[in-house]
Amino acid sequence: MLENDLGADFLPMRLVAVMVIVLILLASTAAYASGITAQSSKAAARSIVAKIAAVASVEYAEGCPDSGEAAQLDLSVPTIVRTIVIGDAFPDASGDGAMGACLIHYVDGSCETYYAGLPLCSGDPVSRGGPMVLYPGHYTIGIREETLDGQPMVMVYEEAI
């Protein structure tokens, strides 16, 4: 038998070093996974705005105002989003604004703005109803073309469930 036990004194220190390295690897993996999840949720929010803008473009191109038929979308707003604002988001002093604007406000304080390239409104088309605001959750959205002062525009509204 070997009577040399000099290396046994350093076994607890080796165990502590290995545990510290494992904890650092776990923490970095968790941070990476959290970043990927956040980016995925932001991409989902962007796809919601893109989907609304695409369907609104189709409705606007069809040119059938007051036809009574509306396109419906089922949307789920992720929890990383504070609000999604669709429609008359930047009214100026005259009441006119960027009616095709879509804003995404995230819980981290960042904001993204997209323009649909066509007039969007929500609620009552006569009073324009202001912008439509979506919070995290599930929605059924209706999209149809309306006329306002002889001008065609696309109304986006929440369907009653």
**Does residue 2 form part of some domain?**
no
Dihedral sign for Cα 61, 67, 68, 69, please.
Answer: negative
Alpha carbons 41 and 110: distance in angstroms, whole number: 14
**Three-state secondary structure readout of 13-64:** HHHHHHHHHHHHHHHHHHHHHHHHHHHHHHHHHHHHHHHHHHHHHHHHHHCC
Would 88 be classed as within a structural domain?
Answer: yes
- Domain of residue 88, residue span: 8-158
For 130, residues 6+ apart whose C-beta sits below 8 A from its C-beta are: 87, 88, 122, 123
In a domain, residue 80? The reply is: yes
What pTM, to 2 d.p., does this model score? 0.69
Q: How many domains does the chain have?
A: 1
In a domain, 81, yes or no: yes
> How far apart (Å, rounded) are the C-alpha atoms in residues 129 and 96?
13
Q: What is the pLDDT of residue 93?
A: 45
Residue 1 within a domain: no
DSSP state of 11: H
> What pLDDT, on the 0 to 100 scale, is given for residue 21?
95
SS3 assignment, position 141: strand
72 domain-assigned: yes
How far is 83 from 113, CA to CA, in rounded Å? 12
Intervals of the chain under pLDDT 50: 92-95, 125-126
C-alpha 133/C-alpha 128 separation (Å) is 14
Q: Is 131 inside a domain boundary? A: yes
Is residue 12 included in any domain, yes or no?
yes
Residues 6+ apart with CB under 8 A from 12: none
